[in-house]
Chain A
Amino acid sequence: MRPHHLVTHPRALHPGAWWLWAIGLAAAASRTMNPVPLLLIMAVSWFVVSARRGDTPWASSYALFFKLALFVIVIHLVFQTLLSGNSQGLTVLFTLPELPLPESTGLQVGGEVTLEALLSALYVALQLAAIFCCIGAANALGSARQLLRYVPAALYEIGVACIIALTFAPQLATDARRVRDAARLRGGSTGRIRRFGRLAMPMLEGALERSVDLAAAMDSRGYGRTTVSDPRSRRITSALVITGMLGVCLGVYGILSGTESGWMGLPALLVGCVLGIAGLVVGGRRTGRTRYRPDPWALPELLVVASGLTAAVLTFWQMRTDPTTLVLASVNDVPPVPVLACVGILVAVLPAFLAPPLPRPESPARDLEVAA
């Protein structure tokens, strides 16, 4: 067996595999309001991230997304408390002083806060938080930037533009700081707008100069040299890709919204995928570019994707067979445990062991001797 098929061989997993895995988990989260599987999903994503993240700058993005998730929950609860009134439920927890508003607005600020209202708000927020955690995990394990390396050849120009934009943003921030300092050195603060105009000019000029420099550098390094420009094939490619994208969007919307109105779900998704892939293949043929050291797509990648998909598939299945365990009939009851979905979500924890470990950063020779 070649080493990259081994789950024990240290290497970086293909970022695409991590994103598919995370999408699977997020899809599972999108189908349920039951806190049990939702908390499980958050736990699983956290576990896998802590087991397999590297020491790259973006690896810490999980913490950021987790904080965002907590923030979402808090905001949701605060607003529910303030605005709910006694619209739902009977179990009154406490009563807030009510703000008198005209009846016609249909709004009520303050008033009685019920357990039911709070719980259902919590569950909805929890769903959003779980999805945030999934995205955070994908970002921490295979950054969006890494993923851009694998943009299909047909979309290469877009990929390059995204990468440049990602580099540009921090540089622009540095520029802004420099120019602002310079403005402070000169003093004379005449109004906010005046000040902004003063800052904008040097920054804009700087950014323009930099883009011209970059364009010159890319041109002299052969960018666009191998592209055969054939307007007909380019038009076919864009038509195919755009219709494909539309199909995928409709399909995903159909599946996630659960309306399942015949063609909107799976069929649209499949047709969209086929069209999109066809477009990418046709477009990919026209470039003569090659790719340096692509991450292999091997057994561990397949296993990781499969585990993510299992979570999604089993949750969807549960939805079909026993929807009451996923969408609670009454929020005050102790939430039931949807066995099938939970098993699926637990399967998604396997990448913590199935994904190959990351190679340790170069250690000093002393360590190697100790190991020997």
Chain B
Amino acid sequence: MIRFEHVSVTYSGASAPTLSDVELHVPEGEMVLVMGRTGSGKSTLLRAINGLVPHFSGGTLRGRVVVDGRDTATHRPRDLADVVGFVGQDPLAGFVTDNVEDELAYGMESLGISPSTMRKRVEETLDLLGLADLRGRPLAQLSGGQQQRVAIGAVLTTHPKVLVLDEPTSALDPLGAEDVLATLQRLVHDLGMTVVLAEHRLERVVQYVDRIVHVPGNGEPVEAGDPAAVLATTPIAPPVVQLGRAAGWSPLPLTVRNARRRSVELRARLADVRPPEHRATALGAPVGSVKDLVAGYPRRPVIKGVTISVAAGEIVALMGRNGAGKSTLLRTFVGLHKPTSGRVKVDEVGLVPQVPADLLYAATVADECSLADRDAGATKGATRALLDRLAPGIPDEQHPRDLSEGQKLSVALAIVLVSEPKLLLLDEPTRGLDYVAKQQLITILHQLADAGHGVVFATHDVELVAEVASRVVVLADGETVADGAAPDVVVSSPAFAPQVAKVMAPQPWLTVHDVAAALSSTNGALAGTTHE
């Protein structure tokens, strides 16, 4: 269905090709995951499928990309609209009309499909994606998952044979993501559609895909193959796979179910080992608190009586669905939002917003750092020193917009930290971060907590919570529904439990790292006993 023949892509002005000599064949009816680091060329690969690269992006493409017998050299993206459906990362940015029904019809109108056929296909698509109840609704009022489903529906109405999605779930909460992935699976299984998608959150998708294409970046060859085989060697892998590696299972499990069936022996072996506590090592004085806080809009409170106190050295994860009030709570902490009633007590506080790039406006990293020094009244070079500690090696003269997501976050963090806040707040810090950047963030957060900062972060990423949080607060409908040590809150919850906890339940293990450490120590103990 899709064939890449010796494809190399070089963007204009770039010294090295983004993709080099890609040889790839995707047969009909497959669901393929494209994985790799940010900037490795994943998006380029995806956009080459419908001709956006090079027709829209510019640059040079050598070799041939053929989709359903059409060569992208002679077909522009619009000429492939009836073969390839392309869904971008932010669905709202790709909407042309303002309500669901018109959006579904838009592509067909452009292709000149007859009105009666259009009517029929819109109805079919509404049913297929479960959007019938939303048909007349304005697009801006839909939730993230619904918007993503509408975006998928909007390209499905032209009956493409291939669906290409660039990080379809990265901005969604776990439930919205499941919604979208279930839809994709249905398209592959019921309609035999070919689906190619890129995703950072591997744990969400590997179980559904037939094949993985790993784009290592730096011009190294692209490898493709069976998920278990590819994941055995890649530096990035979802927690179940890492658990499989640690326990030495072969073939590697891809789903929680498989891992659980394999782990009977492992669980027996670890039955007497106490998992680490995941608590703050040293709790300091409280650095910020809210009491009976009510905040939001007149007659529509978003936060309804929340009481939280954060101590120095603590890392608190704030979880809950979209719209549960996480962001509002953080914004009230820093004073961007006036509380309707209740008390907020903080001294020095800093917030890294959801889009860290909003904090950046200078033309170079060096300017940005000196501006931050001046804003915070800090000594010259303080921000730069912080930045070098957080993420060494960001060149001074680079434009902040050209940095990777992880680097942008580091710069934003340095800018916020230079005013030495005792309480640091982060709003969804892992949005758009790849695995490596996430590991870096985890290290940074641990360092900050050890240095006596209190940290609160809002997130949907259960694996991040498992790795880093010492306390978890779950908000629902503006109220606290759970507040306690990470293992206590997370392990028993079906929505918030990390994969390792699901595999190891009822034992409260949270991360692969913990299990691996426990395994090596029991191995040592066992070895010791046999030697005696």
Q: Closest A residue to B79 by CB, please name it.
A: A225
Q: How far is the CB of B422 from chain A (nearest CB, A)?
A: 16
Instruction: Let me know if A181 and B110 touch, CB within 8 A.
Output: no
Interface string of A186-204 (1 = CB under 8 A from B): 1110000000001101100
Instruction: Let me know if B50 and A220 touch, CB within 8 A.
Output: yes
From A181, A186, A217, B375 is in contact (CB under 8 Å) with A186
Q: Which residues of A contact B138 (CB under 8 A)?
A: 57
Instruction: Let me know if A226 and B140 touch, CB within 8 A.
Output: no
Q: Which residues of A contact B94 (CB under 8 A)?
A: 213-214, 216-218
From B50, B112, B361, A226 is in contact (CB under 8 Å) with B112
Q: Closest A residue to B117 by CB, please name it.
A: A290
Q: Residue A232 at the B interface, CB < 8 A? A: no
Given A181-B331, A188-B374, verify A220-B84 contact (CB < 8 Å): yes
Q: Which residues of B contact A221 (CB under 8 A)?
A: 78, 81, 86, 96, 106-107, 110, 154-155, 158
Q: Residue B76 at the A interface, CB < 8 A? A: yes
* Band of interface residues on B: 35 or more
Q: Which residues of B contact A292 (CB under 8 A)?
A: 101-102, 105, 108-109, 115, 118-119, 122
Interface string of B73-93 (1 = CB under 8 A from A): 000111111101110101011
Count of inter-chain pairs, beta carbons less than 8 A: 150
Q: How far is the CA of A164 from the CA of B98 in the complex (A)?
A: 9
Q: Residue A119 at the B interface, CB < 8 A? A: no
Q: How far is the CA of A362 from the CA of B137 in the complex (A)?
A: 12
Q: Closest A residue to B112 by CB, please name it.
A: A288
Instruction: Let me know if A226 and B359 touch, CB within 8 A.
Output: no
Given A185-B334, A290-B114, verify A219-B56 contact (CB < 8 Å): yes
Q: How far is the CA of A94 from the CA of B361 in the complex (A)?
A: 59
Interface centre among A160, A163, A178, A292 (most CB of B within 10 A): A292
Instruction: Let me know if A170 and B140 touch, CB within 8 A.
Output: yes
Q: Residue A369 at the B interface, CB < 8 A? A: no
Q: How far is the CA of A202 from the CA of B97 in the complex (A)?
A: 25
Q: How far is the CA of A40 from the CA of B114 in the complex (A)?
A: 46
Interface string of A156-175 (1 = CB under 8 A from B): 00001001101100110000
From B115, B334, B353, A293 is in contact (CB under 8 Å) with B115
Q: How far is the CA of A291 from the CA of B158 in the complex (A)?
A: 14
Q: How far is the CA of A292 from the CA of B157 in the complex (A)?
A: 12
Instruction: Let me know if A202 and B86 touch, CB within 8 A.
Output: no
Q: Residue B111 at the A interface, CB < 8 A? A: yes
Q: How far is the CB of A121 from chain B (nearest CB, A)?
A: 38
Q: How far is the CA of A293 from the CA of B84 in the complex (A)?
A: 25
Q: Which residues of B contact A293 (CB under 8 A)?
A: 101, 105, 115, 118-119
From A167, A225, A288, A289, B78 is in contact (CB under 8 Å) with A225
From B158, B358, B372, A222 is in contact (CB under 8 Å) with B158
Instruction: Let me know if A290 and B108 touch, CB within 8 A.
Output: yes
Name A residues whose Cβ lies closer than 8 Å to a Cβ of B: 57, 145, 149, 160, 163-164, 166-167, 170-171, 178-179, 181-182, 184-188, 198-199, 201-202, 205, 210, 213-226, 288-293, 362
Can you name 19 A-B residue pairings with CB atoms under 8 Å?
Answer: A160-B96, A163-B96, A166-B98, A170-B140, A171-B92, A187-B375, A202-B357, A213-B93, A217-B86, A219-B77, A221-B81, A221-B86, A223-B110, A226-B110, A226-B111, A290-B114, A292-B119, A293-B118, A362-B133
Name B residues whose Cβ lies closer than 8 Å to a Cβ of A: 50, 52, 55-56, 76-82, 84-86, 88, 90, 92-98, 101-102, 105-115, 118-119, 122, 133, 138, 140, 154-155, 158, 331, 334, 336, 350-351, 353, 355, 357-361, 371-372, 374-376, 401, 415-416, 419
